Chain A
Amino acid sequence: MRSAAEIAAVCEEIVLDVGLSCVLRHRAESGKKAIGFLPIYAPREVVEAAGMLSVGVLGGGDQIEIIRGDAYFQSYICQLPRSVIEMGLSGKLDALDGMLFPAICDVIRNLSGMWQLLFPNKYVRYIDVPHNHDWEVGGKFYVHDLRELGRGLAGVSGVTPSDDRLREAIALHNENRRLLRALYDLRARAPHLVPTAEAYVVVRAGYQLPVEEHSAIVREYLEAARVSGRAPLDQSRVVLVGSFCEQPPLGLLKTLERAGCYIVDDDLVLGARFLRGDVDETGDPWEALARAYIAHGSHTSSRYVAGEQKGEYLIDLCKKRKAEGVVFCAPSFCDPALLEQPMLQTALEAANVQHTSFRYSENTAQFQAIHEQAGTFSDSIRLWSEDQ
């Protein structure tokens, strides 16, 4: 049996491979085509029901040098679209036959149009998830949109995503989501057993693997982590917020934990865990996906939830995870994260939850300042909780 660290190392290799060699291998073995999707959430089940691999594209991280991507973006735009364009233009995304751009912010939205202009031969679809959660209104609109997506994807693969095929994909992803929830629960219960840098790569590896294969890895990792015998440290428990789109470099996550913060929940690779509950495996699967989005969709800045009390969800999460503080860790120039942040901070202050904040970009290379800031924060919340 492999150790948790060994499994994580394999996952890390997959995550850091921006050339998608693992997708290329699956293409070659299965003869399937592949469709990429950007953050946050895309209904991967539909892609898979259409007989293709669904591949999460989260940017090039600190793995690639931006040579062409900067030519397309002004200095005040975040890093992710630069590296995605860079990857596209340098052939690193050649394994993908199409790309889905979920509604998240204006930059990703416009990137969908850039993709149409730059890659006229690839399938491109903008996924307008509904902000109206009335089933008869937003729900029906989304169901139609999903079916439209299914038709478009069938045009790429030649495989019609039948109801049966879709239900099958939903079942596989339900299992995967359950395993990821178990992983997050274990980390929250025993963060010393599941370092975040490991949990992160284990989750993210799923963006490049067939779902069954990924579920097997998560299961194996869970078992290995439970028996890893790692010793707990006297560290503070924090929730990480703001990293739902452009991902921080691994070094940053390691720095946070090294500085004394156990991350007990986060919004990293949020799409993988976006639906917080199961999707109904019976009945009309298209409606089931839409209903799950409305009922179990994560609370995140890009999604409008009518009547939502800002920050309530985060405060509940802190309670549930027994977190002592919140670390706002958002990419520079990220409109959704940075516009949301003051509202969340106000709510946390009213609830007496400590917080700190900093910004990064996916290719940030210096962690010294962050290490000091996180260390100070960790010390201060532990002192603070002793005082209480």
Chain B
Amino acid sequence: MSGPLLEVRDLVKTYGSGEATTRVLRGLNLRLGTGELSALLGPSGSGKSTLLTILGTLMKPTSGQYDMLGEDLIGAGDAELTAFRNQHIGFVFQFHNLLPDFTALENVIFPTAVREGRESASARARGRDLLVRMGLEDRVDFPVANLSGGQKQRVAVARALMNSPELVLADEPTGNLDRASAIQVMNLIGEINRDEGTTFLISTHDEKIAATCRRQIVVGEGLLTG
């Protein structure tokens, strides 16, 4: 592990107003180093998903500081955050969240194509390589609707890696998979983390999945408890 990739300080996130105000994050501090493979643990409602959403620049905190790769992401506008997200952050969701009318390859290369404004040959080649690495070489041009749950999640992992991001945020990536598929996905994540030094932060309820990560971060009542 080398220097910090990102750091959040005194992160507060509240929903609602007045008496209906809910404080989900209560001054949370977190530092993630480059190349870390971390599990984010905690009971439902502890603020795991909210933390991932803020780290993914999809939502702004109510207050606090968030720096990544030396950039202050709290003061950035929507267009800047969108470009930053596209280049430096990958996402893997619990329910794969692929574009249903597109093939596996088209889904994987989306982050690059949307940035370049076209599906370049180099993007297609990288997308194909990623799918091969995920063990989906015979499913490259399949519509994602025809893939199994495990295959869809592997396509989602490939998409998250398409732009070679420094950080991949995974929210319950194995929560919707059987044990065999879950192990397969986690093995792939571990392999990429080891080979490419990509930082992973994986939210999970599964102790066994968490045990495959080198660091366990526990969130409770909006604060880090472990």
The answer to whether A binds B is no
Query: Which residues on A are within 8 Å of B, measured CB to CB?
Result: none
